[in-house]
Amino acid sequence: MSVLSEHLIEEIKELPAKYPQPRSAVMPALDLAQEELGYLTPEAMTEVAEALMLDPGYVEGVATFYTLFHHEPTGKHRFYMCTNLACMLRGSDEVVTRLREAIGVRGPGEVSKDGMFSYEEVECLGACEYAPMCRIDHRYEYDLTVVKIDQIVNDCRLPRLYQRTASAPRAASADAPRPKPATRRAPRAKKTDGGAISES
């Protein structure tokens, strides 16, 4: 019996036609599988390989190379906290400490008791101008403070509220002038209508 749903396998089979190189579909396919299961099991990776007609070893190699793919259970909402230089200089340590307290975990990889949250520390996410920042699920949140982390965590517990907060107009920083996104836009980051930016 498949671990991935029939619907998802059909969706994965359609992916290669969208790329000049069919192999390019492997990452979005793994992403879809991870979205459905929460993490990638060996069986899921094998089914992705079969759906894409790729060598299972190749698919596993991609899945184990990138840290955004998980091989153990994670929280329903996953925080990827950038702790690289720009974010560190602008207070990521304090923000990460607050996140740990807010979701009730002792460190990266631990899942909160309610199963809602986990976090990990990652290298630069390409949005240094908005430091300190993080990715949560598929959204970027930036100009983080301990107050903003609390808001995000609380809003995640009420999904509709989180959507609204994430698209709200971005508040001006009280302690420093912020760059103009139109002229100093971060690479690999695309600003949405409002307060969050997402991966391009």
Which residues of the shown chain bind ligand FES in the complex (CB under 6 A)?
Answer: 82, 84-87, 124-125, 127-128, 131, 133
Q: Which residue has the tokens 């579909």?
A: 25
Tell me how far, at minimum, the Cβ of 173 lies from ligand FES, in Å.
16
- For the four alpha carbons of 36, 37, 41 and 44, in that order, the dihedral sign comes to negative
- Choice between 116 and 124, CB closer to ligand FES: 124
- Choice between 30 and 144, CB closer to ligand FES: 144
Of 34, 16, 33, 36, nearest to 25 (Cα)? Answer: 16
- Choice between 54 and 136, CB closer to ligand FES: 136
Tell me how far, at minimum, the Cβ of 104 lies from ligand FES, in Å.
25
- Choice between 45 and 127, CB closer to ligand FES: 127
Tell me how far, at minimum, the Cβ of 7 lies from ligand FES, in Å.
35
Q: Is 78 exposed, middle or buried (0-12, 13-18, 19+ CB in 10 A)?
A: buried
Tell me how far, at minimum, the Cβ of 121 lies from ligand FES, in Å.
11
Tell me how far, at minimum, the Cβ of 96 lies from ligand FES, in Å.
12
How far, rounded to the nearest angstrom, does the alpha carbon of residue 46 sit from its chain's CA centroid?
23
- Choice between 9 and 86, CB closer to ligand FES: 86
Of 21, 30, 74, 67, nearest to 11 (Cα)? Answer: 30
* Opening angle at CA 10, ends 6 and 13, nearest 5: 140
Tell me how far, at minimum, the Cβ of 69 lies from ligand FES, in Å.
20
Residue 16 DSSP symbol: G
SS3 of the chain: helix, strand, coil, percent, to 5? 45, 10, 45
- Choice between 82 and 103, CB closer to ligand FES: 82
